[in-house]
Amino acid sequence: MASGIRKSFHLPESRRHFPPQFDFRTSHIKIELAVDLQKQRIDGSCTLTVAPVREGLDRIRLDACEMDIRGVQVDGAPARFEYDNAVLEVAVSPSSGPRTVRVDYGAKPPEGLYFTAPDEEFPEREVQAWTHTETEASRYWFPCHDHPADKVTTEVILRVPKEFRVISNGRLLSVKDEGKLAVYHWKEDAPHSTYLTSFIVGKFGVIEEEIDGIKLRYNFPESKREDVLRYFGETPRIIHILGELA
Interval 116-161: pLDDT, tens: 999 999 999 999 999 999 999 999 999 999 999 999 999 999 999 9
Q: What is the dihedral of CA 218, 222, 226, 228, to 10 degrees?
A: -20
Backbone angles phi, psi at 65, to 5 degrees: -95, 130
What band does 164 get if pLDDT is binned at 50, 70 and 90?
A: very high
By residue count, the chain amounts to: 246
Mean pLDDT score, 156-170? 97
Give every CB contact of residue 167 below 8 A, 6+ residues apart in sequence.
Answer: 199, 200, 204, 219
- Of 198, 196, 201, the residue nearest 219 (C-alpha): 201
pLDDT (tens digit, 9 = 90+) per residue, 207-242? 999 999 999 999 999 888 999 999 999 999 999 999
Whether 167 contacts 199, CB under 8 Å: yes
Given this model, what pLDDT does residue 2 score? 53
Domains of the chain in start order, with CATH, are 24-202 (2.60.40.1730), 205-245 (3.30.160)
Q: Please determine, for residue 26, whether its predicted confidence score (pLDDT) is greater than 90.
A: yes
Average pLDDT of the chain is 94
Percent of the chain whose pLDDT exceeds 70? 98
- What's the gap between Cα 238 and its chain centre? 28
- 38, amino acid identity: Q
